[in-house]
Amino acid sequence: MAGPGRRRVQGHTGTAHPPGPRRGPGAGRVNPTNTATATVTTVARVVTDVLQPRNALLAGMLGLGLAAAGHWTGLLWGLLGALCAGLIPAGYIEWERKRGTWGDRHVVDRTQRAPIFLVILGSLGTGSLVMLLGGAPTPILVAMLALWVMTIGLLAVNTVWKISVDSAVASAVVALLAAVHSPWWLLAYVLTIAVCWSRVALTYHTVAQTIAGAALGASTAVAFAFV
C-alpha cells in the first residue's frame, strides 16, 4: 500500500537507471569513404593474386606452346616453359617466405629481390637449354630467351629503382601471345592494365613503376622481329 503523499508507479521497480550515452546525429553510420576504400583494396588484392606472375605464365606459356607447335604436344613444351619461368621461382619465393626471409610473395623491399632474379635466370636458362636440345618449336624457345633478357632488364633496373615485376610479366605474356598466336591477343592488355592498377591501389608500386614494367614486358615481343 502506498503511503500518504507517495505515488505508486505500476511496473516500476523503483531502481533509478542512469541515462544512456548521448549519441550524435552521425553515430552508428558507416563511413562511405572507408567502405569504398576497403572495397577497392579487396578488388585490387583479388586481381593481383589471380593475375600474379605464376598464374599468368602458366596460362601464357601453355598457349604459346600450343600455338608454336600447332598441336597438343606443344602443351608439353609450354608446361616446361611455365615450370621454369613461373612455378619454380614462385616455389622458391614461398620456401623463403616460410623460412621468414620475406613476409609474402611481393617482397616489397627491392634490395631483397636479387636472389629471386638469379633463380629466375638460372631456371629460364636451364629450361631454354632443355628446349634447344629437345628440338622444341622455335617460337617457344624464342619466348623463353625473351623472358630471360627481360629478367636481366628487371634485375638491372631493380638495383636503383623498384620496377614492377608483376606488370612486366603480365605485359610480356600478352605481347608474346600476340606475336606467336594472333594480334587479337593485344585486347588482353586490359588485364595488364588491371594488374598495373592493382599494384598501385595496394601501394606496392607507383604509376611510373608499373608503366615501366609493362613497357619492358612489351619489349619481349621485339625478339620475334629477328626470327
| pLDDT mean over 152-163 | 96
Residue 24 pLDDT exceeds 70: no
> Which pLDDT score, from 0 to 100, does residue 14 have?
47
Mean pLDDT of 140-158: 96
Q: Which residues contact 198 (CB under 8 A, 6 or more apart)?
A: 43, 44, 45, 47, 48, 51
Name residue 36's amino acid. A
Comparing 48-57, 104-113, 122-131, 156-165, which segment has the lowest mean pLDDT? 104-113
Other CB atoms within a 10 A radius of the CB of residue 75 amount to 16
Half-sphere exposure for 93 (CA within 13 Å, toward CB)? 22
Kindly report the pTM of this predicted structure.
0.83
How does residue 22 score in pLDDT terms, banded at 50, 70 and 90?
low
Query: Looking up cell 579487396, which residue turns up?
Result: 42
Please check whether residue 176 is in contact with residue 218, taking contact to mean a CB–CB distance below 8 angstroms.
Answer: no
Domain ranges of the chain: 43-226
pLDDT at 129: 97
The pLDDT mean for the chain works out to: 88
> Where is mean pLDDT largest: 7-11, 33-37, 65-69, 82-86?
82-86
Distance between CA 194 and CA 178 in Å, rounded?
18
Place 104 in a pLDDT band, splitting at 50, 70 and 90. Answer: confident
Q: What 3 state SS string does 163-210 have?
A: CCHHHHHHHHHHHHHHHHCCHHHHHHHHHHHHHHHHHHHCCCCCHHHH
**Cα–Cα distance between 77 and 159 in angstroms, integer?**
32
Greater confidence (9 vs 183) lies with 183
User: What pLDDT score was predicted for residue 28?
Assistant: 54
Task: Dump pLDDT digits (tens) for 89-98.
Answer: 999 999 998 9
Alpha helices by DSSP H, listed for the chain, are 32-50, 53-69, 74-82, 88-98, 114-134, 138-158, 165-180, 189-201, 207-218
